[in-house]
Amino acid sequence: MTTTSNKAVFFDRDGTLNVDIDYLHRPEDFIWIEGAKEAIKYVNDKGYLAILVTNQSGVARGYYPEDDVINVYNWMNEELSKIGAHLDALFYCPHHPTGKVLQYAKECTCRKPAAGMVDEACAKFHIDRSKSFLIGDGDRDMECARRAGITGIHYQTGNLLECIKDFC
């Protein structure tokens, strides 16, 4: 039995797809990074899965519920659909070791720089790590990519589409 092998671009959210504001959890506060929507469409058109992987410690800290994370993701996809783009999946970590909400106050294997979110996505979608990338703005994103065995793209500033075109 042969398993189809997919390729993926894993996107960090805050600081990569949107302007990083502390504990973003409302669509009305979301500001797209220049070229972010177009970068997602570009990877869609190139046959990559576009997967969001994001630490959301605001859940563990009691700042907002998990539903807010999902609502922002759904809103992002509504906005992306206007240009014929989409995110294929959301993987997020609601945990933090010093969180105030007990069920989320723990060490875990999904919080970046750990590779748990990428590993889970790779298993679920049969992703070929050698053909995949993780793009993020932080050192923890690059460490996550390294631990997951995929190429990390360190986004710093400028147009995200132009940054990603160099890799896929």
| 163 assigned binding-site residue | no
What distance in Å separates the CA atoms of residue 87 and residue 11, rounded to the nearest whole number? 9
Give the residue from 22, 27, 10 showing the smallest Cα distance to 57.
Answer: 22
Q: What amino acid positions are annotated as catalytic residues?
A: 12, 14
Flag whether 137 is marked binding. yes
Question: Any binding-site annotation on 68?
Answer: no
12 has binding-site annotation: yes
Q: Which two tokens stand for residue 104?
A: 């989320």
Q: Known binder of ligand: residue 14? A: yes
Rounded CA separation 24/31 (Å) = 10
Helix (H) or strand (E) holding 70: helix 66-81
How big is the CA angle at 144 (ends 39 and 92), to the nearest 5 degrees?
70
Element (H, E) at 57: helix 57-60
Comparing CA positions, the residue from 106, 74, 101, 78 lying closest to residue 90 is 74
Determine if residue 42 is left, alpha or beta; phi over 0 gives left, psi from -120 to 50 gives alpha, anything else beta: alpha
Binding residues: 12, 14, 93, 95, 108, 110, 137
Binding residues for Mg(2+): 12, 14, 137
Binding residues for Zn(2+): 93, 95, 108, 110
